[in-house]
Every structure is written in structure tokens, then in C-alpha cells.
Amino acid sequence: MERLKDLYQYLKGPQHVADFQRFCGIEILAVTQDSVQSVVPQSHQNGKSGTTVQNGETGHVGVSHRNGDSTRPNPTNGTRKTSNSMTEETDHQPDSNGKIQNGHHTNGVKNGFHANNGSSLESSDEKDNVKVGYKVNNKFLYYIFSLGANLGSELFYLTFFPFLIWNVNTKIARQMIITWHILMYFGQMLKDYIQWPRPSSPPAAKLEKRFELEYGMPSTHAVVGTTVPFSILIAASRIYQFPFNIGLVLAMSWTTLVAFSRVYLGMHTALDVIAGILYAGVSLPLLLSYTDQIDYWQVTSPYAPIFTLGLSFLMCWYYPKQEKWTITRGDTANIMSIGSGVAIGTWLNYQLGWLLPASSSAELLIITWPSMTWFIHSTVRLVIGVAILANLRILFKKLFLTLVCYLAGVDKDDIHTQRKLGLEVPVRYGTIWSMSFFLTVVVPFIFQMLGVNRPESYNEL
């Protein structure tokens, strides 16, 4: 029992995050406002020991704590101090003076230290003014895990979801979005209810700045990384005939990549990630057993828009408020508005007679290798469609920000008051809902006018 308790505490704590980061080639060092302290272990240059690493070669750096402790031995004769200019430089760019002392760049940029404006010097304990910097030695893992982290970003939602709708199968996309936005809403609520902080820094380094103010348990990236691939897999298996084992391996690989990326970037502990995967894994089978019925009702019922729009907006507006502002409420509004916008847009397509039932044949469709025409048209649809959505986002954001601030009697430049009143909820909801509606109604109509629309898209009820 004690071993399980110790394992629980270890998986909940930040030390294993720092250990995993070092294992993957991230050097972690403690930084204060006045100086940068790091231990450069004895390295070998041309077979000689006792010299420091030059030209950014790989070498682990110990973490200096406020009390002088380190995750590795930290002898004083191995301590190097550099000026504040280190925190003012950007990624791998020489400083304006280009000074070199004792064979080393004084600004640390030569050794690959990232700058504060590059969101790699992250604060941990503001009372002690301690920050943690990092150096990426394994660029391959950095880009792989950054890709994994982006599989749960807003950019991913606004590119991958349209790709599924425009180029693959609208029914699969709709059913995936149903499960995704429901599980994400309650996942976000759990995060703000449990209120576990993200891994402390030090000892870990936080490579993402945007999510630093959010709580960590459970990892909603892990929820996305589980829900999206597995809901697509199950929905596709109901329509198409394909090797299910291959799809299962791909879905598991997707989930694994996202899970490890959150620990690598220092944004979650292993316990956060495990909890997110378990939450999605337990909830998915129940939801997936009803997605066909939910989807059909949302598309065909005359009362669906009132219920869908009203319920989703009220769930966002009455989302539990926190003592301190975080991006969670706004992100939740984005998520719910996508679910509502896609559902109502599809409903309108059905009411206009554009969306028709698919073939009543009980046989599964056979997936054929895509033709060159499909590749060309898919690329054209994605480029044109995303360009339209990007411009609509700018337009609708300005429109709803002006409208909401006018109705609330708040200056649109007064961000503090907007956050205090929760105005980001209607602004974000209106913006993303409008984009999602255009995504399912207007953009496919434009494709039809241009002669690049996917013919099957209107037969996937």
C-alpha cells in the first residue's frame, strides 16, 4: 500500500516531469531576475575532460533551487553567472554586441537558451522571483511533441474539423464533434473544480505559456487526444469497411503522442494525463452508443436549433466562475460554439433540402484509394475554406467585441473589465459559432459554385 501511495505522489509531483524532460534532451536551469545559475557538468572536447560544452553541444544542466539544492550536484566551482541580457535575447540569435568571454557567449544564446518573449522562461514562484530556462538538445523530439500538443489547439480545431467535413465524411465529423464537445465541457469543469496546479517550475520547465494559468487535473489535451481519434474510428467503422486493427493502432498512437507531449512540455504530470485518458475512455463507450440518435435528432427535429443553441450558450454563461481569471471559460465557449454551430448549420442544410439521407443499404462502404482529382479538389477546398474562415474570424471577432462591449457599457479596450464581467464568453461564442455555421452551410455552397464540392457531402445524413 505504501508503494502505491509513493507512486501516486511521484506521478502527482513535478519531479518526474523534469526527469522526462531531461531524458528527452531538454536542459533545465534555474534563473533569477538578477542572474542565471547553472551547472555545466564536465564534458569532453576532443577527448579531453574538464572543459565546458561549447557551440551548443549536448550536456545536461542541473537545476538550481532557491535554497541551493539541485536535482544534480551543484558545486560552487561549477557555477556560471551571466548577465540579464540572456533573458532579453531570442532563439539562437546573436546579441547586438556579439561579445564572447572565455570562449563563451555571455548572453547564453549560443548555447541555445530561449528568451522570455519566446515563452521559454516561465515563472514558477513569483514570491522568490525564480524562473526556469531551458535548452532544447533534441530538436526532433521537440518538433514531434510540439505537433502532438497542437492536436488539441484552436488551430487544430479550425483546420482538422473542416478537413473532415469538406473532404472525408460529414456524418463522421458530426458524430466526433458531438462526443468531443460534451466530454470537453465536463473535462474543463472538472479541471476548475479539482483545481490542481500544473507542475511546479522548478524543477520542471514550462515550454507553453498560454496554458500556464489553467489548472492541470485532468489533462483536457489527453481528453481530446483520446476522444477525437477513437470517436472517428468507431464512427467510421459503422460506415466503411477497413482493417479495424490498423485504425486502432493509429488511434492509440495519436493518444500516446498527445499524452507524452503534455509531460514533455511541462504542462501536465503523468497523473493528469492518465486521468484525462481514463475519463475519456470510460465516457466514450456510453456516448458513442447514442451518437447516431443524437445526430439524427439534431439534424431533423424542428426544435433542435432552439434546444442546441440555448442549452450550449447557457452552459457557457453559467460555467463555474473562478476567483482568478483563466482562459478556461473562453476556451469552453469556443468548444461549445463549434458543437452548436455545426449542428445548426447541418440542420439548415436538411431543412433547405440540400442534405439527403444516405443509401439505405446495410452493407458497409469499401474505402478505395483516393484519386488524383480528390487530392487536388481536397487541397483547393482546404486552402480556400480555411482562408475564408480565417477572415471571418477577424470580422466576427471585431463585430461581436464591439456589440457586446456596447451592450455592456464597457470600453472595448478595457480587457480587465471585460474579463471581470465574463464578456469573453459571448464574444468567443458568437465568433466561433458564426464560423462553424459558415463552415457547414456557406463554404460548401461556395465550393459548389466553384465546381470543387464533394458530391457525397450532401448525402451523408
Q: State the pTM of this model.
A: 0.72
CA–CA distance, 47 with 54 (Å, rounded to integer): 14
Q: Which helix (H) or strand (E) holds 365?
A: strand 365-366
- pLDDT at position 61: 39
pLDDT band at 66 (very low <50, low <70, confident <90, very high): very low
Q: Which among 105, 181, 221, 377 is annotated as catalytic?
A: 221
416 annotated active-site: no
8-17, 174-183, 228-237, 376-385: which has the minimum mean pLDDT? 8-17
Beta bridge partners of 278: none
User: Which pLDDT band holds residue 125 (cuts at 50, 70, 90)?
Assistant: very low
pLDDT in tens, 165-205: 999 889 999 999 999 999 999 988 888 888 778 887 777 77
Q: Which residue, chain included where needed, has cell 500544473? A: 198
The model's pLDDT over 290-299, given as tens digits with 9 standing for 90+, comes to 998 999 999 9
Give residue-wise pLDDT tens across range 413-425.
778 887 877 788 8
Question: Angle at Cα 206 formed by Cα 201 and Cα 212, nearest 5°?
Answer: 90
Residue 366 DSSP SS3: strand
How far is residue 225's CA from residue 242's CA, in Å, rounded to a whole number? 22
List the catalytic residue out of 60, 105, 268, 377: 268
Q: How far is CA 254 from CA 144, 164, 270, 279, 341, in A?
A: 12, 16, 17, 17, 26
- Which amino acid is it at 113? F
Q: What is the DSSP letter of 134?
A: E
Catalytic residue flag (residue 221): yes
CA 173 to CA 436: how far, in whole Å? 12
Instruction: State the cell numbers at 277.
Output: 485518458
d(CA 234, CA 212): 34
